[in-house]
Each structure stands twice: as C-alpha cells, then as structure tokens.
Amino acid sequence: MKALLLLLAQLCSASLVPEREKDPEYWRRQAQETLRNALRLQRLNQNVAKNLILFLGDGEMGAPTLGWGGQGCHELGALWFFHLPPLQTYNTNAQVPDSAGTATAYLCGVKANEGTLGVSAGVTRDRCNTTKGQEVTSILRWAKDAGKAVGIVTTTRVTHATPSAAYAHSANRDWYSDGEMPPDALEGGCRDIARQLVENIPDIEVIMGGGRKYMFPKNASDVEYPREEKHRGTRLDRRNLVQAWQEAKPPGKVAKYVWNRRELLALNLSRVDFLLGLFEPGDMVYELDRNNETDPSLSEMVAVAIRMLQKNPRGFFLLVEGGG
C-alpha cells in the first residue's frame, strides 16, 4: 500500500500542466466573466473604492487571526468569505499550493506553477530561460498606473513569496539575492528578487518588513548583529541596494531608510515621500519574542504606512502580510 501511495504521489506531481492554463488570458477571461455576472445583479453598488488594503494571514489563518478580523471566535461563521463557493487554491502543477503561486493568483489574477512568482504557468521552476515573455502584472502596478500610492508591509522578508509577487518575476521564490541563485540563472540574465524590488517599480512609497541581508554585499556586517555571521550580507555583485533604492528617486523627493522602531516612529512623515524599513536581516521576529526597542509591531508598521499613503488624494493600495 505504501508503494502504491508513493507511486500515485509521483504521478500527480509529474502531471503536465494543461496548455490552456499556461496562458494568462485563460485566467483573465474567467475573471472578466465573473465581473460580468456581478454587473448583472440587481441593486448594484455603484460606489468606487478610493483605498484598498489587502490583509493576508499567511500561515496564521487560525481562529485567533479570524477572530481578530472583527468577529468573536464563537461567531466565525459570520465572516463573509465563509459564505463564498468553495475556492480552488491549487497551483497549476500541484494540488497543495505554496505562497508564491497563490500570491501570483491573488495579486496578478493568474495561476502559476509551484515555487514561481509573478509569471504564468509557462515558467518552470528553476529554469531561468523560461521566464522571458511570461511576466504578469500585479494589482500594485495597476494601482500605480491609476495614480494611487502603494505600499507593502510584512512580518516576513520583503523579498519573501507573498510580497515579491507584487513587484517581481522569478522562476524560483528562493532567489532572494544573487547569492542564492545558481550560476546558470545568473548567466541567463535573470535578476534576483531584491534587485527587482529596487528596479521594477522604483516608486513604491512604502516598503516595510525584514530582509536586510539581501540588500548588502556578501559578508558585510549587519547593523544590529555585527558579530553574527549568519546575518551578514549575501550579495555577490557587491551592491548596496538600499543606496541604489535612494538614488533611484526623483530629484527633490525625500527617501528615508530606517532599520529600527525608534527611527521609524521618530519620522516626520509629512516630509517623507518614500519609506524603506528593514527591521531584521531575515524574517521579523514573532510578536511574542519581539524586541520592543528595535522591532516595530505589525500594527505600528501598518499605522505608519497608512499615514504615508493617505497623502495621495487619489487613494492607495496597501498589501499587509502577517507571515508565519
């Protein structure tokens, strides 16, 4: 029986992605049909939202998180999404999805293969040469094109699967810096996720979370943990991407980088146009273990982000992830 189950698992994992699911238009047509059906409903709400905040409890969607969503734990059935039809949360090549493929689905509207982000199902994990021409656009880019301010707040690395699907296109979710990429991917011209954060959409107003070490040259000491080797910079290209992020801003705009809670809360946000906060070398510390002197809480980061973004009269889009 064990051998049979193993064989079935191998067959499922090796199954081919249907050709139609490799085409982003396949997913967009379904979305358009859903919208058309919604428009046929009576008593249609004609109001247009000015701001959008997407909260994601990645890895933490248990009773406490759902209860925090505005309902008592004994009233969880009242949450609106419990009344939706069953959702098909699969990757195109896997029944149990991962955060990269699902982030691509809800941020870009296109299902993708397991372990890939910001690309269609035409991209095979780890194969850099399948990426070109398969990039898909996210709601963060759409909001920017509509004149809105945009922001990303996470308790994971800002280059982790969920936030990076908003701005990056990668055949592997783990290519945080060029130090994590194989030689063939570098030779093939693929860019690491941290570099894409700086280069793809340079006018993201707010970026906060962890992930300092992917922004600095290999073996550069971390500002908070200077003696710990595991927290040192990882970049093989020797670039300082924090500096590159600041230099990419238009003349006259103020771009502030902070690495601890004290600096963050001391900012005069009326005089800041762009904010980058990287509070840990990797993922941020769990709330129960958080250092109140150095690491802001998720709620503090969100409060700062909203104050920054609401300065735009056209509104904003904000992605907030409580990562697990």
CA distance linking residue 184 with residue 293, whole number of Å? 42
Q: Element (H or E) spanning 196, and its range? A: helix 193-199
Could you tell me which residues are beta bridge partners of residue 117?
A: 170
Contacts of 247 (CB under 8 A, 6+ apart): none
Is 99 tagged catalytic? yes
Nearest to 146 by CA among 312, 305, 314: 314
Could you tell me which residues are beta bridge partners of residue 54?
A: 319
Which residue type sits at 233?
Answer: G
Contacts of 267 (CB under 8 A, 6+ apart): 256, 258, 275, 304
Nearest to 283 by CA among 103, 152, 165, 155: 155
Pair 259, 278: CB distance under 8 Å = yes
Edge-to-edge order in the sheet of strand 274-278: 52-56, 316-321, 149-157, 206-210, 274-278, 255-258
Q: Cα-flanking dihedrals φ and ψ of residue 306, to 5°?
A: -65, -40
Catalytic residue (one of 13, 15, 99, 120):
99
Q: Which residues belong to the active site?
A: 99
